[in-house]
């Protein structure tokens, strides 16, 4: 009888420890982006993804952000890297911020759409919620290409039922004081505003 009771107590304690350990393990937000998410030309700790990680760490239960963004990343290179990233980090949420470099290089829009769609499918097949982050190009790229690019994000979000940030640099891109000299990347002081833009659409995916 005492031995049975001892085993029962050990089992209860082990299950309690296991439950606490599982509850304490943070879920992961994986950010797959380009230089706009890789803290280009500013200290990493000022980038919006690093700021996101700090904000997530204060949540209950805790979350963490993994930044897999690389300057110069295209939708094709991101598509090629994503399967390994999903297997390694097993995220609950994928923030997909790609397309700017494709657009700047004039990639045909159907190719960009196909790459983004493939990444959304990869994530959703792995039961990962997706936040698709759109970008805008400078006006000299012409209205047809710019409008087509913008429509890709809206259409993919609607057809695949993802969350959407229409434009990552909303309220930032057209303010010279908030942009670096290249006119493409935010200064460090504007990164909290970029995070706030993402956060509005990300927060519902964390519950």
The 3-class secondary structure across 9-21, one letter per residue, is: HHHHHHHHHHHHH
Q: What are the structural domains of the chain?
A: 26-206 (3.40.50.1110)
Catalytic positions, written as ranges: 35, 182, 185
> What pLDDT score was predicted for residue 168?
98
> What pLDDT score was predicted for residue 4?
52
> What pLDDT score was predicted for residue 3?
52
117 — phi, psi (to 5°)?
A: -65, -40
**CB neighbour list of residue 155: distance below 8 Å, 6 or more residues apart:** 113
Which of 98, 115, 97, 116 lies closest to 202, judged by CA? 97
Q: Residue 76 is encoded by which pair of tokens?
A: 């094709």
Quickly state the pLDDT bin for 33 (edges 50, 70, 90). very high
Specify whether the backbone of 152 is left (phi greater than 0), alpha (psi in -120 to 50) or beta. Answer: alpha
pLDDT digits (tens, 9 = 90+) for 100-119: 999 999 999 999 999 999 99
Quickly state the pLDDT bin for 17 (edges 50, 70, 90). very low
Quickly state the pLDDT bin for 70 (edges 50, 70, 90). very high
pTM: 0.88
pLDDT at 27 over 80: yes
pLDDT at 19 over 90: no
In angstroms, the CA 195 to CA 63 distance is: 16
């Amino acid at each position: 009888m005492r031995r049975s009771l001892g085993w029962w107590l050990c089992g209860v304690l082990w299950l309690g420890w296991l439950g606490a350990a599982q509850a304490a393990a943070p879920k992961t937000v994986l950010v797959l982006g380009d230089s706009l998410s890789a803290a280009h030309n500013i200290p990493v700790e000022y980038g919006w993804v690093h700021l996101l990680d700090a904000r997530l760490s204060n949540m209950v239960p805790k979350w963490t952000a993994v930044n897999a963004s690389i300057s110069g990343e295209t939708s094709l290179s991101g598509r090629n890297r994503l399967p390994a990233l999903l297997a390694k980090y097993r995220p609950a949420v994928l923030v997909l911020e790609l397309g700017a470099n494709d657009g700047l290089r004039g990639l045909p829009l159907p190719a960009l759409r196909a790459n983004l769609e493939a990444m959304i499918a990869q994530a959703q097949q792995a039961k990962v919620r997706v936040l698709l982050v759109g970008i805008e190009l400078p006006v000299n790229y012409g209205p047809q290409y710019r409008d087509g690019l913008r429509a890709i994000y809206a259409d993919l979000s609607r057809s695949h039922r993802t969350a959407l940030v229409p434009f990552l640099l909303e309220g930032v891109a057209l303010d010279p004081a908030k942009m670096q000299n290249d006119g493409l990347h935010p200064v460090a002081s504007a990164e909290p505003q970029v995070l706030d833009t993402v956060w509005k659409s990300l927060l519902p995916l964390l519950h």
